[in-house]
Amino acid sequence: MSRQVIRLHPAAPAKPPEAAPCNGCGVCCAAEPCPIGVLVSGRRTGACAALLWKSDAGLYRCGLVSAPREVLRGLPGFAAPLLSRLARRWISAASGCDSSLQVEAAT
């Protein structure tokens, strides 16, 4: 089994089991970008550039869905709602946790 160090906000919720509702723990997106995240991040490894910590909610959100213009600075305002809707579909938001990663807290 390969191991990888990822950095998450200390207040982030613990990763739920696979298929449970997504709680915004951020583990999957901090480990590697999804296909659309690869385009946004310009890399296939490491944390996705679109992953945003939401301190008011105490969880991570996909910035392409929740704040497209924070992620893509040049995005025109009129295009943001469309991109948000498309991104929600592309990443299958609300379909449950699809990550089988096992998390160990740093000691």
List residues near ligand SF4 by CB under 6 A.
Answer: 15-16, 22-29, 33-34, 36-37, 40, 48, 50-51, 62, 64, 91, 97-99
CB 29 within 8 A of CB 37: yes
| Closest distance to ligand SF4 from the beta carbon of 56 (Å) | 17
Helical (H) or strand (E) element with 85: helix 80-90
| Closest distance to ligand SF4 from the beta carbon of 3 (Å) | 17
27 or 83: whose CB is closer to ligand SF4? 27
Nearest in space to 37 (alpha carbons), one of 3, 77, 72:
72
- Greatest alpha-carbon pair distance for the chain in Å reads 46
Tokens of 99: 């990550």
24 or 83: whose CB is closer to ligand SF4? 24
Q: Count of CB atoms within 10 A of residue 25's CB?
A: 21
| Closest distance to ligand SF4 from the beta carbon of 11 (Å) | 14
| Closest distance to ligand SF4 from the beta carbon of 63 (Å) | 6
Alpha-carbon distance of 49 to 32, in angstroms, equals 10
37 or 83: whose CB is closer to ligand SF4? 37
